[in-house]
Amino acid sequence: MKLHVKNIILITMLAFVTIGGTTSCSSKKKLAKKEYEAKLLQAKTDLNAIIEGTTQWTLEEQKSRIEEIEKSDLQNAEIDALIVKAKEVVERKMAEAARVAEEERLRQIEEQNKVKQVTSLEDYFTIIAAAPNAETANAKIAEALKLFASPDVPVLIIVYHVGDIIDYDAPTTAERYLNYIKDQKKVAVGIYNIKYDSNNKITELELIKK
């Protein structure tokens, strides 16, 4: 009788252990499934945000997140398709950003060249005025005229400027004004404004009396 009772207790204990082990294993599986589903949902959310352009991440951060999702190997056809689309979107945006950056770089170079050209023109004024003889002055005038679209480019000289009121002297041309500097042997003006054509040649010059 005692032996029979012991057997029953032993069987009961084994049953509890077995049930407990099965329950624990089942809980782990449920937890793993929940974690997977959470990762899947987050991946879909992030990829769709990247595709739709609603994320606040930088392009580098978006690229990094796509790579992270790809490496996680979620083995989901929808995720795989979203990864492809997200990559295309980010690559296109990065290419556009690179294009804009290059255009800005070229614009800055062009602006720098314009500044250098303005300085060169002012230098020519000084050089022509200080030329030791007419031959040297004429050679420098010929060089300076290369900065203009033509020798007949209009030159406007501001004699009075207060607020919105501007008075000009009689208009002249680039060639005439450079020869005027040669004859006067002095420069009494500064550059006020310059207009350029698509070839970066001067098409209009505004000077202001000092």
Q: Which of 196, 210, 6, 11 is nearest to 118 (CA)?
A: 196
Q: Residue 35's pLDDT is what?
A: 87
Q: Which of 167, 185, 80 is nearest to 127 (CA)?
A: 185
Which positions of the chain have pLDDT values less than 50? 2-3, 5, 16-17, 20-21
Contact (Cβ atoms closer than 8 angstroms) between residue 160 and residue 167: yes
- What's the pTM value of the predicted model, to 2 decimals? 0.46
Q: Residue 2's pLDDT is what?
A: 46
Which sign does the torsion angle of CA 124, 130, 131, 133 carry?
A: positive
Q: Residue 130's pLDDT is what?
A: 95
Q: Residue 3's pLDDT is what?
A: 46
Q: Residue 166's pLDDT is what?
A: 84
HEC profile for 5-68? HHHHHHHHHHHHHHHHHHHHHHHHHHHHHHHHHHHHHHHHHHHHHHHHCCCCCCHHHHHHHHHH
